[in-house]
Structure 1
């Protein structure tokens, strides 16, 4: 496995796939927060890494003070960076296994869910199972922002279908020319399901990828 801290270095390289992806995700997360009704906005980020997407979305956002919730990250060094970046907000950084539903106990249902940097590192059946479980993590009308590379075979086609099957409406899918990244935004269009918890959602099986 690559060093997960060093993996983040590409975010600081202008024009890199990760830098472009970060910019897109930041915009979608900011829009998702804006879209919610007045009051508290609960956010959950799976495999949050250093939390740059969440921190960037909330930097200067007029509703920064409304956002609560949890960033889940297993790597202690990345979790420490995330805590520093979201300091001054009501967000909690949990150092734990985002692949197990127990990591979200007490933090769901969420209005905004991030699954960025997840689907490129787990088996396809785990992607499908996680998408199917998302209505349990979501509040009514919640938005999910997710990423997955588009290298052959391009699984984003299947992921988008799995979201539809799970009751989500697609709001956006960004596939920048010349890059293999994909960023999707889906909104829950069916009633949320009751939280069941107590199960594994996914297991990382690959080295870090875009």
Structure 2
């Protein structure tokens, strides 16, 4: 899951002077908020694979960071051989970590790591409608308007019955209840949301509608400084 950065709108991105590799080290610190959030997301990825129907399972991850939420679950899951995943991450250091991790786990033939702007919907062509969509580390870094617009576009990414996993911090203003309402107004059924006092926000929704055709050329969101 990607960390925080600032970027200009459009396909050209500019990163703040932050060592994102170091930032991701918080995932390895037992008891940290990021470590607990990662565990929660991985648990929901595992549960989504458990309930996926027989056959191929397509997974896409927006702003995938080091890819730990998907890769580490895939490696030990009984459905491992069924999964094909595309992880999109703008920071080349993070995407390189994900590629190497996929190789270490023997998943290189099943996982495509794209170093590019996850906000560009064209990145997902050929992989949608997907059976699982991860939007983690995104909603805490974009405007409320872009959150709503991204949710509006999610039916272009999701197969009927797809699981969509998302994150958003619970700091004030706590937008998690509103995000749930936006999803549910667009054909997504709530599966699970972390407790408000958990110290992090993770939500899971199931798409009950019909997939919409992917409309190319669209930018879903623009990152601004914020909290994941």
| TM-score (structure 1 length as normaliser) | 0.95
Partner in structure 2 of residue 101 of structure 1 = 121
Q: How does 1:1-210 map to 2 (within 5 A)?
A: 1=16, 2-87=18-103, 88-89=106-107, 90-175=110-195, 177=197, 179=199, 181-207=200-226, 209-210=227-228
Q: Aligned-pair distance for 1:82?
A: 0.5
Contact 2:170–2:196 at 8 Å: present in 1 too? no
Aligned length: 208
Cα offset, 1:102, TM superposition = 1.2
Residues 137-180 of structure 1: per-residue CA shift (max 9 Å, x gap)? 0111101000000100001111111101111000000126351x
8 A contact 2:120–2:217 mirrored in 1: yes
Give the unaligned 5+ runs of structure 1: none
Unaligned runs of 5+ in 2: 1-15
After superposition, the CA RMSD in angstroms is 1.2
TM-score w.r.t. length of structure 2: 0.88
